[in-house]
Amino acid sequence: MIDKICRIDIKFKLLIGLFALSFLVSCGSTIKQQKEGQLAVLKQVNATSKATLEGFKSGTLPQKYDIHLFFRYAAVNKALAAIDGYEFPLPNNANIAVKIGSIRLKGIGASPLVSIQASARTGELTADVEIGAILTPISNNATAAALQINVLSFAPRISWWIFELTKIDFVNALLAVELNKIALRLPKIELPVAEKIKIGGTATQKDQTFNTTKDSTLTLRINIPATQRERTLSISNYVFLEDGLHIFGSLK
């Protein structure tokens, strides 16, 4: 009988031990992942800032341009406010919903940091999620000024008590998500940049009266040919600074 009780005891203690281990590993992983995320973002920001600074120092930035457009992040953020609060299922677990509270752009160094307030929810469980992200152009030499969000980290910010073991699966699912799959669920931003740029006037006709002598006039019907020409904007590069983003392009 005692032997049987002890065997049950062993199994029970083993179980508690394993849970405790899982808890500590999961708990430690969320903190580690948050910090790794912060580090990844900082490294990316510093790399971009360094490259931009070198461009400034060497005189290669800005390159020759026909048109330069600047947009303050604050203005773009007004448009981003339109999607506050949208949701999508976690790519690796459809039972978990990720809610994007807000997405805002903020310049740090020479990098556009994307500040994302997000949370994850399944049943009664919720957790804030720390998403480290930066803004990147979809492609250079494009006619449309389209930008996407590049996710560098995704870590649940969670506080729990040792016996909240039900959170383990939830946390592990959040920790296991692939960053590019999260990025695919974030919005693309198309800035109000014209692809076609017109210069000149359309053909016009107008009547104008001139004095031919002191006492005589002549009215002419004047035909002015169209002078309007259309050019296509080709974006050659973007420079992101603390206030906002600069777009340089050529007209062809």
Partner 1 sequence: MKKVIFIPILTLIALSLEVSLGFFAVADESSDLDKQIELEKNKLDMLSQQLKQYSPPIFTVSSDVQVDFGYRPINEWLKENTSPMLTINGTGINRTGDVYYNPGIAKAWIEPPRDTKVSVHLSKAEVTGTTAGLALMSTLQAYAEVRVYFSALGVSGNVLCKGFIDPTQVRGVIALQPILGTLLPYVLKFSSVGEITVLTSCGIGALGSINFTIPIQLDTSSSGSFDLGLANTGKIVLPLEAGGKEIPYRIVVSKPNVNSSSDSLQIRADLDITIN
* Interface positions, 22-81, toward partner 1 (CB under 8 A): 24-25, 28-29, 31-32, 35-36, 38-39, 42-43, 45-46, 49-50, 52-53, 56-57, 61-62, 65-72, 74-75, 78-81
Residue from 162, 166, 201, 232 touching partner 1 (CB under 8 A): that is: 201
Crossing angle of helices 167-176 and 2-58, in 10° steps, is 30
**Nearer to partner 1 among residue 43 and residue 101 (C-beta):** 43
Q: Which stretch binds partner 1 (CB under 8 A): 5-13, 115-123, 150-158, 170-178?
A: 5-13
- Contact at 8 Å (CB) between 145 and 135? no
Give min distance, CB of 126 to partner 1, in A.
Answer: 19
CA distance 205 to 213: 24
Phi (first) and psi of residue 9, to 5 degrees:
-60, -45
Q: Which residues contact 250 (CB under 8 A, 6 or more apart)?
A: 64, 65, 66, 67, 233, 234, 236
| Count of chain residues binding partner 1 (CB under 8 A) | 108
The torsion angles phi and psi of 27, rounded to 5 degrees, stand at -60, -45
- Measured CA to CA, the distance from residue 93 to residue 97 in angstroms comes to 9
Return the range that interacts with partner 1 (CB under 8 A); candidates 103-111, 120-128, 153-161, 172-180: 103-111
Residues 115-174 that bind partner 1 (CB under 8 A): none
Task: Convert 204-232 into a string of H (helix), E (strand) and C (coil).
Answer: EEEEEEEEEECCEEEEEEEEECCCCEEEE
Query: Least distance from C-beta 146 to partner 1, angstroms?
Result: 8
Comparison of 14 and 176: residue with beta carbon closer to partner 1: 14
- Could you give the CA distance from residue 187 to residue 94 in angstroms, rounded to a whole number? 19
The owner of tokens 């405790």 is 20
Closest CB 74 distance from partner 1, rounded Å? 7
Which of 63, 83, 92, 180 touches partner 1 (CB under 8 A)?
A: 83
Shortest Å distance, C-beta 227 to partner 1: 5
Give 83 or 176: the residue with its C-beta nearer to partner 1. Answer: 83
Q: List the x/- string, 177-196, binding to partner 1 by CB under 8 A.
A: -------xxxxxxxxxxxxx
CB of 128 to partner 1, least distance (A): 19
Q: For residue 95, give the nearest of 123, 68, 69 by alpha carbon.
A: 123
Alpha carbons within 13 angstroms on the beta-carbon side of residue 112 total: 24
Instruction: Please pick, from the candidates 1, 3, 124, 161, the single residue that binds partner 1 as defined by CB under 8 A.
Output: 3
